[in-house]
């Protein structure tokens, strides 16, 4: 993509692991500092005329809340998973709002930044209910303890080889944005909106009523859904690596620059991108490009400005 600002909006998805990198202290202060660094680049783009809509991941943050649930369960009732998604939406949205408004004001802009605690509709018959696939929380090295938790709580734990055992939960497909009307009003009013954090609070409709469910929606697939809903010209997925690579982590590793969506689909089908890491990002980027005719970019969080301008990362075109 050229440096020219597109006529449509740009959907920017900040990865949860990029906000709270693996192996680093996941404190409130550390996360706020990482968010603040990202918002400097976001503010620069906005004052330069880019019409951005933001979303974010929350995997590490939800995992941390689940650990707190476990440790405090003898004293306070544990909160269900969709409550944890809502809580992390609010806390990360607050951090983005606080820092982005400050950096916009420093640049002479009085735009409002509005985080929406937002919901997404999922299918009660999604196949992932029967075969949970989304890892959350910390690893357990003790198989006996993992099996004890499964028997005691009904949770599902799976072995991840040398890393140990980890809890997995359903990750049903996002079907519809449930707060699209509110999003549209805010965008029409000129606000910078943070929406569908963590993929959105997963909801099913039973007997005409919406109910939260014990699941986590993939943030990138949900970002593609929102991007198409708002007519975005570009979807930018920011993560903790510089882009999409073939043979990642091996001596044959090869970073992809610009690639046609059909070629990326073929590589995905050949098994190049792991389901638990780059796979959903590649799938989300392909869906957006195929459905919108726009461009998708997968890049590192530190490269926000260049990623949005199409100068870095993996760029997926029609």
User: Of the listed 16, 57, 59, 294, which one is catalytic?
Assistant: 16
**Separation in Å, CA 260 to CA 11, 225, 256, 282:** 20, 20, 11, 12
Q: Beta partners for 239? A: 300
Token readout for 116 is: 């929406």
Asked whether the beta carbons of 216 and 198 are under 8 A apart, the reply is: yes
User: Of the listed 59, 93, 281, 313, which one is catalytic?
Assistant: 281
Token readout for 312 is: 């870095």
- Of 67, 7, 12, nearest to 38 by C-alpha is 12
**CA R_g for the chain:** 19
Per the annotation, the verdict on 212 as an active-site residue is no
Per the annotation, the verdict on 219 as an active-site residue is yes
Token readout for 167 is: 């809890």
Per the annotation, the verdict on 281 as an active-site residue is yes
Per the annotation, the verdict on 16 as an active-site residue is yes
- If phi > 0 it is left, if psi is from -120 to 50 it is alpha, else beta; for residue 3 that is alpha
Per the annotation, the verdict on 163 as an active-site residue is no
User: Of the listed 134, 199, 200, 228, which one is catalytic?
Assistant: 134
Asked whether the beta carbons of 204 and 129 are under 8 A apart, the reply is: no
Q: Which residues are catalytic?
A: 16-17, 134, 219, 281
């Amino acid at each position: 993509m050229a440096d020219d600002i597109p006529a449509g909006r740009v959907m920017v998805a900040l990865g949860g692991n990029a906000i709270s990198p693996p192996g680093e202290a996941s404190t409130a202060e550390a996360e706020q500092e990482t968010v603040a660094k990202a918002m400097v680049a976001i503010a620069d783009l906005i004052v330069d005329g880019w019409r951005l809509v933001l979303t974010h991941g929350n995997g590490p943050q939800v995992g941390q809340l689940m650990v707190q649930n476990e440790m405090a369960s003898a004293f306070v009732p544990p909160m269900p998973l969709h409550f944890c998604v809502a809580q992390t939406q609010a806390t990360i949205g607050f951090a983005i709002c606080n820092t982005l408004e400050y950096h916009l004001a420093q640049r002479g802009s009085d735009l409002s930044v509005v985080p929406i605690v937002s919901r997404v509709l999922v299918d009660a018959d999604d196949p992932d209910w029967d075969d949970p696939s989304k890892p959350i929380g910390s690893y357990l090295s003790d198989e006996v303890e993992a099996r004890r938790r499964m028997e005691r709580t009904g949770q599902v734990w799976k072995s991840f080889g040398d890393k140990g055992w980890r809890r997995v939960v359903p990750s049903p497909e996002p079907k519809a944005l449930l707060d699209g009307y509110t999003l549209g009003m805010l965008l029409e009013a000129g606000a910078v909106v943070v929406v569908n954090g963590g993929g959105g609070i997963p909801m099913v409709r039973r007997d005409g009523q919406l109910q939260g469910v014990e699941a986590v929606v993939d943030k990138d697939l949900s970002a593609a859904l929102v991007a198409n809903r708002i007519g975005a010209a570009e979807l930018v997925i920011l993560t903790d690596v510089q882009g999409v690579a073939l043979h990642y982590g091996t001596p044959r590793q090869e970073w992809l620059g610009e690639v046609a969506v059909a070629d990326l689909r073929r590589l995905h089908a050949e098994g190049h991108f792991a389901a638990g890491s780059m796979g959903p990002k590649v799938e989300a980027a392909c869906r957006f490009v195929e459905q919108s005719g726009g461009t998708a970019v997968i890049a590192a969080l530190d490269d926000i400005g260049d990623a949005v301008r199409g100068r870095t990362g993996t760029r997926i075109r029609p």
